Amino acid sequence: MTERILPSRRPAWTALQTHFQSAQKLHLRDLFASDPGRGTRMTAEGAGVFLDYSKNRVTDETLKLLIALANECDLKGRIKAMFGGEKINITENRAVLHTALRAPRTATITVDGKNIVPDVHETLDRMSSFCDRIRSGEWKGHTGKPIRSIVNIGIGGSDLGPVMAYEALRHYTKRELTFRFVSNVDGTDFAEAVRDLDPTETLFIVSSKTFTTLETMTNAQTAREWLLSALRDPAAVAKHFVAVSTNADAVSAFGIDTANMFGFWDWVGGRYSMDSAIGLSTMLAVGPAGFRDMLAGFHAMDEHFQTAAFEKNLPVLMGLIGLWYSSFFEAETVAVLPYDQYLKRFPAYLQQLTMESNGKRVTLGGVEVDYQTGAIYWGEPGTNGQHSFYQLIHQGTKLIPCDFLAFCKSLNPLGRHHDLLLANVFAQAEALAFGKTAEQVKADGVPDWLVPHKTFPGNRPSNTLMLEKLTPFALGSLIALYEHIVFTQGVIWDLGSFDQWGVELGKVLAQRIVPELEGSTEPNLKHDTSTNALIRRYRAAKKK
């Protein structure tokens, strides 16, 4: 364990601050002009992912200093501690071992003296045989019909990963099965998800690590009522409900047979759980072999992260460069721009992964930081975003580092579409980096008054990630890449990246307000004047 001092007091951080004074003035145009090798040198490759980071506002010196900072923060040691099962989630006293979910059968990973890998594979094997039974039609619903529709009920990490993976891997899914995902406690979510489904052919997966989450439990009860109002026999629940949870007692209290429960463990965080049994809907969609390919992709990136030199290590490079923008340039956001329609939910998935992990303002030692931490992640698939918010990225006042994601081969090769798509992703990164000077605009014959409007300052940074094709393996390696970027940044910022205390207060306050909305007698409201007035207004509207 390294000495616990605020990272911004470290010599490497101070050296970066000094370096920043000159580096912030450099323009990508000049960096490229003075260094013909830059575009091919500033690249790295691992686990099937190629990274071009040359269009970032960094020099070789910046990278040297960032890597020195990583070394001073003992990133290597922290990686070892995480993969080795040390209880690095100190505020919850837990190991952080999502990487064990994709470890090969032969691996040994010990938590509290026990090798956990056999349990991981036992669950995977149970999931596989369950999925085979559903996909083949062998598993019958209560009235003897096979399952045709699968509804995953969960929220946060028990929803965003499954939805994203289903959309991302749609090309590989069994098209005869219909998949729906219900997360919001807003009844509309459930109502719209089931309105055209036949209860006799529907399977609900109740996915909740804790099995106490208000939204999920409310939706699961509603699903039970929906099913039983059609099938009129409580015995039907066993054929139409399965659970994914760490909480067997709560699962059986709900009425789901624990024989139909797929477990995971407290060393898997919700936002790191899509490759655990929480991925049951993914496995149902793409089949056990597809799911295992995805796990192999995760594992390949895990290996790369553990073994590649920091200078060539994708998560380390992207993590450090991201931190350079957040903590030195004070850039507020990162745009993730996948040029693949199947990845339309990838930015939403990354929002929980990144922001629930590194949206923290005190160090592991409880000291308030004096630097910017986790960025706001957002994005939409290209080319759609180009016709919406890219204007601000090109010519606005904010610095928005971008991650462009592209695949060399389309899963739906149609005429010129893929060349046009890829031409756009390359063009956007080029335009952002190099812009168009006033002189170039004038040379086009643009009148003087219009020149400022048509000038692009450039110097807007981006990474370009290229993969061969969107496969389950590729998806796994991409997700693991971002998991480890988050880890790298969390280590350097000295954050507890694996807890999420910030979500608790709102949950507690909501529980207090529920009876104030539902009670028939006027409640004695003791909130602030704004909250009191809003509650009164809602109660009055309900009565009308």
In the complex, the residues that contact ligand F6P under the rule CB under 6 A are 155-158, 208-210, 213, 216, 270-271, 356, 500, 503
| Contact in structure between 147 and 202 (CB atoms under 8 Å) | yes
Smallest gap from Cβ 349 to ligand F6P, in A, equals 11
Q: Could you give the residue numbers annotated as active site?
A: 356, 387, 507
Nearer to ligand F6P, 134 or 274 (CB): 274
φ, ψ for residue 265 (rounded to 5)?
A: -135, 160
- Alpha carbon separation from 98 to 103, 116, 483, 544 (Å, rounded): 9, 11, 10, 51
Smallest gap from Cβ 520 to ligand F6P, in A, equals 30
- Alpha carbon separation from 302 to 46, 71, 218, 363 (Å, rounded): 10, 19, 37, 25
Nearer to ligand F6P, 200 or 219 (CB): 219
Smallest gap from Cβ 346 to ligand F6P, in A, equals 17
Neighbours of 203 (CB within 10 A): 21
User: Would you state the structure tokens that stand for residue 17, as one six-digit string?
Assistant: 């601050």
φ, ψ for residue 94 (rounded to 5)?
A: -130, 150
Long-range contacts of 350-354 (CB under 8 A, 24+ apart): 350/377, 350/379, 350/482, 351/160, 351/377, 351/378, 352/156, 352/157, 352/160, 352/271, 353/271, 353/272, 353/482, 353/483, 353/486, 354/482, 354/485, 354/486
Nearer to ligand F6P, 313 or 354 (CB): 354
Q: Which helix (H) or strand (E) holds 451?
A: helix 451-454
State the Cα–Cα distance between residues 240 and 217, nearest whole angstrom: 16
Nearer to ligand F6P, 270 or 382 (CB): 270
Neighbours of 229 (CB within 10 A): 9
Smallest gap from Cβ 98 to ligand F6P, in A, equals 12
State the Cα–Cα distance between residues 74 and 274, nearest whole angstrom: 28
Smallest gap from Cβ 161 to ligand F6P, in A, equals 9
Q: Roughly what angle, to the nearest 10 degrees, separates helices 280-307 and 75-83?
A: 140
Nearer to ligand F6P, 501 or 538 (CB): 501
CB-closest chain residue to ligand F6P:
270
DSSP letter, residue 447: -
Nearer to ligand F6P, 77 or 359 (CB): 359
Smallest gap from Cβ 82 to ligand F6P, in A, equals 18
State the Cα–Cα distance between residues 292 and 280, nearest whole angstrom: 12
* Unique residue bearing structure tokens 């390949």: 300
Smallest gap from Cβ 377 to ligand F6P, in A, equals 16
Nearer to ligand F6P, 289 or 510 (CB): 510
Nearer to ligand F6P, 30 or 504 (CB): 504
- Alpha carbon separation from 361 to 90, 97, 171 (Å, rounded): 16, 24, 41
Smallest gap from Cβ 220 to ligand F6P, in A, equals 10
| Contact in structure between 228 and 200 (CB atoms under 8 Å) | no
